[in-house]
A and B are shown apart, each in its own frame.
Chain A
Amino acid sequence: EVQLVESGGGLVQPGGSLTLSCAASGFTFGIYNMSWVRQAPGKGLEWISHISGSGFATYYADAVKGRFTISRDNAKDSLFLLMNSLRDDDTAVYYCARRTGVDWGQGTLVTVSS
């Protein structure tokens, strides 16, 4: 059974940093592209980042480009999202997803507030 478990969310002040993790199991992690998708409270889904299976290719939404960094550790079946210069409008539930949403984690809430 495929499982994706996000962690690392919490309350952070504007301008602060946070790293999200996603632990994968139940599939051969290293051969799949992975994505991060977020959802602000009461709003729709927003795709924010993608990484190839090898980790060499990464893509970002304009809203997070230059502030967020996606990475992965295939030896540890883990996906990461380093978030810098956080703003109020980054407040959201952050989901990791296998490929283009084949499977999803349960999400982790990030709240940016002073």
Chain B
Amino acid sequence: DIQMTQSPSSLSASVGDRVTITCRASQGIRNDLGWYQQRPGKAPRRLIYDASRLPGGVSSKFSGGGSGTEFTLTINSLQPEDFATYYCLQYHDFPHTFGQGTKLEIK
């Protein structure tokens, strides 16, 4: 199975900051990776697919990068609604696997 190692597990930042979250795959997954945001008590929401593509309706403050084994999610100009938990998901092979999550908290 492909293991996804996400870091950091938690992150403290201020409104207006820019932050970057990283996911590393245990083997190459091309660009078969998505990023998801989950607010407390809510279902996840897709932010990025195919490592760097932004779905319609998602703010351009979110950007994704990387391919192969190393991937990043960058969030610009943090707003209060961005403080949530973020997950990566590889869908290159079955079983699909999520990273452990990054909880983004207000400093």
Chain A residues proximal to chain B, CB less than 8 Å: 35, 37, 44-47, 50, 59-62, 95, 100-107
Contact = CB atoms under 8 A, between A and B. Distances in A.
Interface residues on B, range: 20 to 34
A84 to B, nearest CB: 19
B5 interface: no
Contact of B95 (A62, A103, A105, A107): A62
Contacts of A35: 96
Interface stretch (B18-26, B36-44, B64-72, B75-83): B36-44
A47 B36 CA distance: 13
A24 to B, nearest CB: 14
Which of A47, A61, A103, A106 counts the most B-chain CB atoms under 10 A from its CB?
A: A47
A50 B94 contact: yes
B101 A101 contact: no
Contact of B89 (A60, A95, A100): A100
Contacts of B85: 44
A37 B96 CA distance: 10
B46 A47 contact: no
Given A95-B43, A95-B44, A104-B43, A45 B38 contact: yes
A47 B101 contact: no
B3 to A, nearest CB: 13
6 tightest Cβ-Cβ pairs between the two chains A and B: A104-B43, A59-B94, A47-B96, A44-B101, A100-B91, A45-B98
7 contacts: A37-B44, A45-B87, A50-B96, A59-B95, A60-B95, A100-B34, A104-B43
B46 A102 contact: yes
